[in-house]
């Protein structure tokens, strides 16, 4: 039996296999979670003119000032101001020619159409200068950047209705096991509800890929072969369960008969050791362990990065953060461990049982603490590292 690979080596070998997906045009508002296939430059300047940042009066030269009219957002004042003249101005409105600052409404003294103040603002006050955010031609986002809500706003503001992104990856999900019930509300005593398929589909959903559900399927050669025949069009196939070497672990064998070649398997991590990677032409197969937490952790560390890489992400791996241990942590054995933990004011505390089947502690967790192999026991307050699981 070959030695288990390190996490980093396995991730590097897997990402090198990621299929390259052709780019396509996508409406910016539909691009959430997708990755830019090309650098993106501003098609316009923002703001397009000097604008007021506040409600008040745009002032020309020395006061007191005669009010000449109004500049509203979307309805600029047409004329230009001489010294001693002003216009009423609202947030986002164009500063008229001849004005160089905005007097806040609350600092203005009004006597008919004459405005005066004890607090004449310095030149440039409360003005958003033309182009301070970005200028036409500026490179705003680089290829491989994920589209977030803020970047959708930036790209729209930069004058683009469409972006170029990789086409959505087609991902087939096949969960296996004779004990799995597809309807969780109708589960016989010898069964458990199939939960990995739904979990994997939910993990993939934010990436905007196309998911094909092929399971759950029993531990049966003919049924597995029939399910695999429906994975022809998938860029990536993710299986769960049946990947070990027990009598009822048929997945590797079924994959080999389907024409896949095993690239590597077994990773020196806990949970998640029996993960397997195979290829079939340009298709990549990830065989994840059946235990739900092992399945989650390997999907988080391998399947999501693979899909992100296929969809063009410049940085497909999860981002590591420095964390504080909110309680003492035990020593680690020969296998690197990922611990489910909750983030609180004292730092990260374990969220419950660390058994690889325990979903309640996974559901409670905010992060996975990464504990390297052979780490000594640590006292509370120690600096550790880990991965955040969600932003909510
Ligand atoms: P296996 O990898 O097939 O040996 O499965 C390991 C454990 O994970 C067993 O206890 C299975 O019942 C459980 N398991 C496998 N697949 C699923 C699934 N889709 N949903 C929930 N539990 C599963
Ligand atoms: Mg099984």
Q: What is the mean pLDDT of each run of 10 residues along the chain (392 residues)?
A: 87 97 97 97 98 98 97 96 98 98 97 97 98 98 98 98 97 97 97 98 95 96 97 98 80 95 95 95 97 98 98 97 98 97 97 97 98 98 96 50
Cis status, amide bond into 216, omega within 30 of 0: yes
Ligand nearest, relative to CA of residue 173: 1
> What CATH number is associated with residue 152?
3.90.105.10
**Domain final residue pick, 278, 310, 342:** 310
CB of 356 within 6 A of ligand 1: the answer is no
Number of other residues whose CB lies within 10 A of the CB of residue 58: 29
3-state SS assignment for residue 339: strand
Considering only CA atoms, give the Rg of the chain: 29
Burial class (CB in 10 A: 0-12, 13-18, 19+), 302: buried
Same domain, 207 and 329: no
Residue 138 domain-assigned (yes or no):
yes
* Closest residue to atom 12 of ligand 1, CA basis: 179
Question: Does residue 305 sit in the same domain as residue 189?
Answer: yes
Ligand 1: atom nearest CA of 179 is 12
DSSP state of 17: T
Would you say the CB of residue 359 lies under 6 angstroms from ligand 1?
no
Residue 204 near residue 235 (C-beta atoms within 8 A) = no
Expressed in angstroms and rounded, the spacing between residue 241 Cα and the centre of ligand 2 is 5
Question: How confident is the model at residue 392, as a pLDDT?
Answer: 45
Tell me: do 153 and 84 sit in the same domain. no
* Sign (positive or negative) of CA dihedral 43, 309, 255, 195: negative
Q: How far apart are CA 199 and CA 204, in angstroms?
A: 9
CA distances from 377 to 112, 320, 324, 330, 332 (A): 77, 21, 14, 4, 7
- Total number of domains in the chain: 4
* E-state strands within 56-182: 56-60, 65-71, 85-89, 101-104, 109-111, 114-116, 127-128, 139-141, 162-166, 170-175, 180-181
The distance of Cα 167 from the centroid of its chain, to the nearest Å, equals: 17
Same domain, 84 and 118: yes
Residues 137 and 211 in one domain: no
Do 20 and 310 contact (CB within 8 A), yes or no?
yes
Query: Which pLDDT does position 74 carry in this prediction?
Result: 95
Are 357 and 285 in a shared domain? Answer: no
Say if 2 falls within a structural domain. Answer: no
Q: Is residue 1 part of a domain?
A: no
Is there a domain that residue 183 lies in? yes
Residue 150 and residue 228 share a domain: no
Contact 288, 243 (CB under 8 A): yes
300 touches 368 (CB < 8 A): yes
Residues 159 and 29 in one domain: yes
User: What atom in ligand 1 is closest to the CA of residue 197?
Assistant: 19
Tokens describing residue 198:
């739904």
Q: What's the confidence (pLDDT) of residue 243?
A: 80
**H/E segment holding residue 257:** helix 251-258
pLDDT for position 155? 98
Distance from Cα 58 to the centre of ligand 1, integer Å: 69
Would you say residue 32 lies in a domain?
yes
* Nearest-CA residue for atom 17 of ligand 1: 290
Q: What range defines the domain where residue 249 resides?
A: 7-21+168-310
Check which CATH number belongs to the domain holding 353 and give it. 2.40.340.10
Please name the residues in contact with 131: beta carbons below 8 A apart, sequence gap of 6 or more: 45, 46, 47
Q: Measured from the CA of 291, which atom of ligand 1 is nearest?
A: 8
Using an 8 Å Cβ cutoff, are 73 and 56 in contact? no
Which residue, 185, 152, 153, 146, is CA-closest to 307?
A: 146
Nearest CA to ligand 1 atom 10: 291
Cα–Cα dist 302/40, whole Å: 28
* Domain shared by 121 and 213, yes or no: no
Which one of 98, 128, 158 terminates a domain? 128
Confidence (pLDDT) at 166: 96
Q: Are residues 123 and 205 in the same domain?
A: no
Same domain, 283 and 351: no
Q: How many CB atoms lie within 10 A of CB 66?
A: 15
State the pTM of this model.
0.93
Domain boundary among 70, 98, 128: 128
Q: What is the pLDDT of residue 391?
A: 56
Q: Is 251 in the pocket of ligand 1 (CB under 6 A)?
A: no
Judge whether 279 lies within some domain: yes
Q: How far is the CA of 220 from the centre of ligand 2 (A)?
A: 11
Residue 202 makes CB contacts below 8 A (sequence gap 6+) with none
**257 and 290 inside one domain:** yes
Report the CATH number at residue 73: 2.170.190.11
Residue identifier of the C-alpha nearest atom 7 of ligand 1 = 291
């Amino acid at each position: 039996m070959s030695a288990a690979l390190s996490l980093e080596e396995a991730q590097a070998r897997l990402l090198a296999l990621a299929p390259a997906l052709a780019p396509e045009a996508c409406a910016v508002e539909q691009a959430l979670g997708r990755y830019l296939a090309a650098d993106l430059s501003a098609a316009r300047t923002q703001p397009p003119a000097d604008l007021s940042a506040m409600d008040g009066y745009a002032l020309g030269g020395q006061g007191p000032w005669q009010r000449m009219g109004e500049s509203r957002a979307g309805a600029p004042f047409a004329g230009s101001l001489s010294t001693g003249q002003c216009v009423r101005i609202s947030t986002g409105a164009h500063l008229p020619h001849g004005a160089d600052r905005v007097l806040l409404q609350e600092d203005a003294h009004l006597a008919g159409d004459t405005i005066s103040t004890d607090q004449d603002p310095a030149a440039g006050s409360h003005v958003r200068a033309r182009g301070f955010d970005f200028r036409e031609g500026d490179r705003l986002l680089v290829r491989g950047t994920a589209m977030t809500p803020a970047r959708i706003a930036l790209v729209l503001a930069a004058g683009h209705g469409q972006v170029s992104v990789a086409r959505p990856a087609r991902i087939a999900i096949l969960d296996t096991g004779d004990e799995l019930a597809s309807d969780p509300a109708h589960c016989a005593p010898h069964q458990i509800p199939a939960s990995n398929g739904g979990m994997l589909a939910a993990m993939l959903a934010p990436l905007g890929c196309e998911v094909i559900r092929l399971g759950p399927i029993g531990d049966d050669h003919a049924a597995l072969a029939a399910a695999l025949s429906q994975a022809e069009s998938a860029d990536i196939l993710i299986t769960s369960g049946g990947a070990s070497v027990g009598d009822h672990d048929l997945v590797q064998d079924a994959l080999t008969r389907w024409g896949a070649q095993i690239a590597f398997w077994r990773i020196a991590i806990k949970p998640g050791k029996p993960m397997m990677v195979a290829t079939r032409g340009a298709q990549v197969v990830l065989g994840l362990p059946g235990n739900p937490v092992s399945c989650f952790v390997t999907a988080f560390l391998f399947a999501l990065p693979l899909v992100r890489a296929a969809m063009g992400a410049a940085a497909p791996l999860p981002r590591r953060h420095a964390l504080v241990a909110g309680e003492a942590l035990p020593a680690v054995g020969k296998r690197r461990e990922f611990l489910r933990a909750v983030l609180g004011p004292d730092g990260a505390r374990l969220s419950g049982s660390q058994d690889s089947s325990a979903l309640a502690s996974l559901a409670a967790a905010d992060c996975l603490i990464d504990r390297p192999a052979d780490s000594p026991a640590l006292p509370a307050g120690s600096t550790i590292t880990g991965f955040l699981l969600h932003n909510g």
